[in-house]
Amino acid sequence: MGETNHPENAWREYPRPQLVRQQWQNLNGMWDYAITPKTAPQPTRYDGQILVPFCVESTVSKVNKSLTADQRLWYRRDVSVPKDWAGQRVLLHFGAVDYECSLWVNGGLVGSHTGGSDAFSFDVTDYLKDGQNQLMLGVLDPTSNGEQPRGKQLMNPNGIWYTPVSGIWQTVWMEPVPKQTYIEEVKVTPELDSSRLRVEVLLDKPANNYTTAIRLTALDGNQTVATTLVRAGRVAWLNIKNPKLWSPDRPFLYNFKAELVTVNDPFGDTPRNKRPRQDALLNTAFANATVTGNPLDVVTGYFAMRKISIGAGPVANQPVLLLNNKFVFQNGPLDQGWWPGGLLTPPSDEGMTFEIDFLKKSGFNMLRKHIKVEPDRYYYLCDKLGILVWQDMPSGFLEGQNEYPGDQSEPIRRSKGKEQFELELRRMMNRLHNHPVL
């Protein structure tokens, strides 16, 4: 693409297009870094600066050094919290860190995370102070000396095996959320055959009352096409009349808004033990409830009305993939997702758009994302531009467990390795659930 990444332009877009809040702070840019023995304490001196979100092995990071299994990679950066975030809780998000990491804020250990491809967050509110705050992240990554999911990374890259990726390789950012409770997750599932959208809005803590509700709105552009109120903690459905279907030829996306609101108790003074427990009666009561005051929390996103299933195809007794109940021949490349400068990290939205657009112009309507999980914005661009994705799970195994052509059986795996693989697979499936291209 001929692009040059600088601290001022490194991944500036909002990193989570399906759960957007208006207030946030991008922490990409230059961080201090150091590489020490993994048994050493936190460093007091640093080796230089690294451009986040590009990994330490990449040329774009401005470091271009390897990390071995007996070393620890340290990051340090000072941040200040905007004054208009006062009275709210502050979440610190990492798009992905390969592979194990621990976070300290102002010297206090906040938490740890294990997994190289999945997004994670820490509530850092209690560790913050007025003015400057110091973030410190310590990272371990054994690459091919461990059995963790890592895809094509190899300490000694050769043949089909690629350069290791260690440390931060996706966007780091902060956002404020309401102190009392906030929307932590929104799960949307189109049910095409009944022309409705199943919506599950999950808060960070249960709301065990009859006054906390979720107001949902689906929009075609800026025009509302469906809206409803539902009690917090309950499944909701939005009826989408005459839905515009998503396909690679017509990748139509609806806009979406979820609001955490307060309502007048729809059952008044009726004792709890006398109130209906059937979902139908509860849903009817809350759908007609009166909202009071301003929303406590608001997130926006998008969804598509599409259905992917298996059914009969052109050849008898040979099932095929169906898109919106119709057979669509899916044609596409094995997409490795590696970049010459950033390795696992694409250079920008423009770089990803160029690649996806090139594939579409080449006649493809899908791609198989090969043993790599992309940043959320990549899947958003696939949703927007219209290309289906067959998503691999990054592989992992101990050296010596390799398989070769002609092998009749697969080497047995240790339970701890299988458990970690399954955990990260589940995380990936949950995270990508809302994307219509998958």
Whether 310 is covered by a domain: the verdict is no
Do 378 and 235 lie in one domain? The reply is: no
- Band (pLDDT 50/70/90 cuts) for residue 424 is very high
- Band (pLDDT 50/70/90 cuts) for residue 403 is confident
- Band (pLDDT 50/70/90 cuts) for residue 3 is low
Residues 35-46: what's their mean pLDDT?
A: 97
Most confident of 34-38, 145-149, 406-410: 34-38
Structure confidence at residue 397 (pLDDT): 83
Do 284 and 327 lie in one domain? The reply is: no
Whether 1 is covered by a domain: the verdict is no
- Band (pLDDT 50/70/90 cuts) for residue 411 is confident
Whether 19 is covered by a domain: the verdict is no
Could you tell me the CATH number of the domain that includes residue 250?
2.60.40.10
Single residue among 177, 203, 227 that ends a domain in this structure: 177
Per-residue pLDDT for 103 more than 70? Answer: yes
Per-residue pLDDT for 6 more than 80? Answer: no
Do 165 and 285 lie in one domain? The reply is: no
- Band (pLDDT 50/70/90 cuts) for residue 280 is confident
Structure confidence at residue 4 (pLDDT): 65
Number of domains in the chain: 3
**131-164 pLDDT per residue, tens:** 999 999 999 999 999 999 999 999 999 988 999 9
Whether 127 is covered by a domain: the verdict is yes
Do 167 and 197 lie in one domain? The reply is: no
**256-266 pLDDT per residue, tens:** 999 999 999 99
Do 39 and 165 lie in one domain? The reply is: yes
Whether 147 is covered by a domain: the verdict is yes
pLDDT, the chain, mean: 95
User: Nearest CA to 235 among 211, 202, 273?
Assistant: 202
Could you tell me the CATH number of the domain that includes residue 378?
3.20.20.80
* Block residue for tokens 């059914």: 311
Do 209 and 161 lie in one domain? The reply is: no
Range of the domain at 42: 25-177
* Among the ranges given (6-20, 132-146, 346-360, 382-396), the one the predictor scored with the smallest mean pLDDT: 6-20
Do 166 and 188 lie in one domain? The reply is: no
Do 234 and 95 lie in one domain? The reply is: no
Single residue among 118, 144, 177 that ends a domain in this structure: 177
Residues 393-406: what's their mean pLDDT?
A: 84
| 70/91 Cα distance (integer angstroms) | 31
Single residue among 157, 177, 197 that ends a domain in this structure: 177
Residues 307-326: what's their mean pLDDT?
A: 94
Residues 90-118: what's their mean pLDDT?
A: 98
* Block residue for tokens 């990679």: 73
Q: C-alpha distances in angstroms, 284 versus 209, 229, 236, 339, 431?
A: 17, 9, 11, 52, 31
Whether 61 is covered by a domain: the verdict is yes
Do 364 and 407 lie in one domain? The reply is: yes
Per-residue pLDDT for 1 more than 50? Answer: no
Residues 406-423: what's their mean pLDDT?
A: 90
Do 231 and 106 lie in one domain? The reply is: no
Specify the amino acid at residue 338.
W
Q: Which percentage of the chain shows pLDDT scores above 90? A: 90
Cβ contacts of 349 within 8 Å, gap of 6 or more: 13, 377, 381
Q: Is the pTM of this model over 0.75?
A: yes
Per-residue pLDDT for 400 more than 90? Answer: no
Residues 112-140: what's their mean pLDDT?
A: 98
- Band (pLDDT 50/70/90 cuts) for residue 2 is very low
Whether 16 is covered by a domain: the verdict is no
Q: What residues pair up with 122 in beta bridges, in sequence order?
A: 92
Structure confidence at residue 181 (pLDDT): 97
Whether 148 is covered by a domain: the verdict is yes
Could you tell me the CATH number of the domain that includes residue 97?
2.60.120.260
Residues 74-95: what's their mean pLDDT?
A: 97
Do 157 and 54 lie in one domain? The reply is: yes
Do 329 and 262 lie in one domain? The reply is: no
Higher pLDDT, 241 or 404: 241
Per-residue pLDDT for 76 more than 50? Answer: yes
